Amino acid sequence: MSAVLLAVFNDYGVADRVRTTLVRDGFPTDRVELTASHEPGRAGLQPADSARARFIQYFRTLLSEPEEQPFVEALAARVEQGAVTVVVHPRGNIETARATQILEGQGAVEVVGHDLANQSFEHAASREDGYWVRHFMLDNPSGADCIYCRLFPTHKHEH
């Protein structure tokens, strides 16, 4: 599993606002997760017979080290009893620092990090400097204004 920051909150409303703050700050929605008993999120997708078992499976995928396993059991019990978790999957030291600042600054009862030393920044498409969109938009021999017209010049479509 990749780097994870997991924060525990006692209040759903606070945790929900923290999730929104993280997304507004620039974290993609697929790297910010909220887990609560009434909103299990990805934990609700785990194949298990009970909510507690689903929470345990989910937290076990996030916190996979042997020394983290007692925390997994306790965390599942806390969520069942009304606690809420917000998980962030940061990429690099800057995102880790920013996510930690937001989580701790918004009243997290506890913040746990997993595998933070082994994370690396992931490049979305190119390892070269610059913006491919800008270059694509500037280099326009066809004169087409529609990006689909540029990408698929032989395909006819309506604007």
Block means of pLDDT (10 residues each) for the chain, length 159 residues?
87 96 93 89 74 87 87 92 94 89 92 76 47 49 60 66
CB 30 within 8 A of CB 100: no
Give residue 126's pLDDT.
43
Q: How far apart are CA 113 and CA 96, in angstroms?
A: 9
- pLDDT of res. 33: 95
The pLDDT value recorded for residue 43 is 73
Distance CA 91, CA 31 (A): 10
Contact 4, 52 (CB under 8 A): no
pLDDT of amino acid 119: 61
- DSSP per-residue codes, 24-59: HTT--GGGEEEE-SS--GGGGGS--SSHHHHHHHHH
Q: Which of 27, 36, 32 is nearest to 8 (CA)?
A: 36
In the DSSP assignment, the letter for residue 107 is: T
The confidence score (pLDDT) of residue 132 equals: 45
Q: Is the four-CA dihedral 93, 60, 23, 28 of positive or negative sign?
A: positive
Task: State the pLDDT at residue 36.
Answer: 93
Question: What pLDDT was estimated at residue 3?
Answer: 87
